[in-house]
Amino acid sequence: MAAIPGSVSAPRRRRMAERKPRIIATGGAGQVGTELIRRAAANNVNLTALTRAELDITDATSIRAVLKDAQPDVVINAAAYTAVDKAEEDGDTAFAVNRDAPGHFAEACAQLGIALIHISTDYVFDGGKDGAYLESDPVKPIGVYGASKEAGEQAVRDVLDQHVIMRTSWVYAGHGGNFVRTMLRVGAERDTLKVVCDQTGAPTFAGDIADAALSIARTISAAEGERDNPPAWGTYHYTAKEHTTWHGFAEAIFDAAEPFLGRRPHVEAIPTSEYPTPARRPANSVLDCAKIDAAFAPPRRPWREGLAEVLDELLKRSKGES
């Protein structure tokens, strides 16, 4: 009898029960990818994180070859084109990375019977809602970046049932380009900074996203092939607990960093209208995470705790500590 596409054979189920889950991750040099590498051992998984140099994620043939050879239990797609403003002028690249690549992974995963966790964004919404966004709310991106990410979500849904899409927001870490590192750099140079106060969201540490994705991957791997306890496939929201504005986030950064910065700049609150950018940002990026809490119960903590961890890492690095 031919195998059902996407099904898991009894021998493979036995192998999965006898070993750590095998995971292939993309975006190995990015914020989430770096944290996936750092946290793999603590999460008891065998992780291979691929960088852009190691895998062209816009090449469907290469993707299928890599997955066929590695035979992972789960793929975590953490690669993305995240230059929000640049995307307005470079839409072809944004859509190639954010729409076409997830579609290629979904097709390969469907052919090979592999589950996919795909990282997405709050930018699929226009930010006009009064209150936290639910997964069921209509999407309405207001820029090229958001439109490309929304198209990537749909590309996954179109061809692969075994998927978990994780929308997150305001991602930062102790490495890479992000708001925390920008504030610390600019704050060391200036006495006064202007930061918008009318955009609201949940700053989310890339390490927390990595822990959540790995936790979900373990759950998927443990349940894979069990007809009585199938994974809860679908679209979910995952951010840190609680929310703030960009201005409030900046104030918290400087409150915590003052001891090692040696100074504290004044942070002036301004409306978005006084800080024009090529791409519009959602005014409301707050995502309701009750669905993912109920389905997978991944680790999720208040954003200030993630910020404290990142600032501690940066302080140790500045002192030359490991």
Total domain count, the chain: 1
Q: Rounded to 5 degrees, what angle do the CA atoms 248, 145, 55 make?
A: 110
pTM for the whole structure:
0.93
pLDDT at residue 11, as a whole number: 44
In a domain, 143, yes or no: yes
In a domain, 296, yes or no: yes
Beta-carbon contacts of residue 229 (< 8 Å; ≥ 6 apart)? 223
What percent of the chain clears pLDDT 70, i.e. is strictly above it? 92
φ, ψ (nearest 5 deg) of residue 62: -65, -40
Residue 220, domain extent:
10-177+204-240+280-301
Give dist(CA 34, CA 139) in Å, integer.
Answer: 29
CATH for 56 = 3.40.50.720
pLDDT at residue 144, as a whole number: 98
Give dist(CA 113, CA 314) in Å, integer.
Answer: 41
Catalytic residues: 145
In a domain, 320, yes or no: no
Residue 7: pLDDT over 50: no
Helix (H) or strand (E) holding 246: helix 246-261
In a domain, 46, yes or no: yes
pLDDT at residue 5, as a whole number: 37
Tokens 């990410």, located at residue: 149
Kindly report which listed range (5-14, 26-35, 204-213) carries the lowest average pLDDT score: 5-14
Residue 3: pLDDT over 70: no
